């Protein structure tokens, strides 16, 4: 066993936090027209506003480590959809068609589907609390 293997879960957790934060920022930029955007996307417009909503909600869930695999799968799929429906028409390679962010988010989120959340995930804390609540003795009937 390599000595770095002992830190794998910590590295995955930090990776998840950064990727989730960046993905959420991408959604915030589009929905609210901030962080260098030219303006907010019109509410409900397809596909821009809906993609941004997936980015904001999914990125937040991934960052926090709540439902990581599901949120990452939906986010990865939405970025693959964006790449193939918007960017690929402008050139075959991401560097040519402006699809670097879509390609990178698609692949990095897909990795999280397989690795899981790693350390520092609130989902594990919440699951532990739910389990403790379910197994706690009931005061009813005492």
Give pLDDT tens digits for 74-124.
Answer: 999 999 999 999 999 999 899 999 999 999 999 999 999 999 999 999 988
- C-alpha distances (whole Å) from 48 to each of 45, 67, 78 are 6, 24, 11
Please give the pLDDT value at position 35.
87
The answer to whether the CB of 19 falls within 8 A of the CB of 108 is: yes
What is the C-alpha to C-alpha distance for residues 103 and 107, in angstroms, rounded to an integer?
6
What is the C-alpha to C-alpha distance for residues 4 and 12, in angstroms, rounded to an integer?
12
Mean per-residue pLDDT, 16-44: 93
Answer with the residue of higher pLDDT: 114 or 127: 114
What is the C-alpha to C-alpha distance for residues 23 and 40, in angstroms, rounded to an integer?
17
Please give the pLDDT value at position 80.
97
Please give the pLDDT value at position 138.
60
Helix (H) / strand (E) containing 16: helix 8-32
> What's the pTM value of the predicted model, to 2 decimals?
0.86
Mean per-residue pLDDT, 68-72: 98
Average pLDDT of the chain to the nearest whole number: 92
Please give the pLDDT value at position 54.
98
């Amino acid at each position: 066993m390599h000595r770095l293997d002992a830190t794998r879960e910590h590295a995955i957790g930090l990776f998840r936090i950064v990727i989730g934060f960046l993905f959420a920022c991408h959604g915030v930029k589009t929905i609210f027209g901030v962080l260098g955007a030219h303006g907010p996307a019109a509410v409900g417009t397809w596909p821009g506003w809906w993609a941004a909503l997936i980015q904001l909600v999914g990125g937040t869930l991934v960052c926090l480590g709540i439902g990581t695999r599901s949120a990452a799968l939906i986010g990865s799929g939405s970025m693959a959809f964006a790449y193939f429906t918007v960017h690929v028409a402008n050139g075959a390679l991401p560097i040519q068609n402006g699809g670097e962010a879509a390609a990178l988010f698609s692949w990095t989120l897909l990795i999280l589907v397989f690795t899981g959340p790693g350390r520092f995930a609130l989902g594990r804390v919440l699951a532990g609390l739910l389990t403790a609540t379910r197994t706690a003795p009931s005061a009813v009937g005492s």
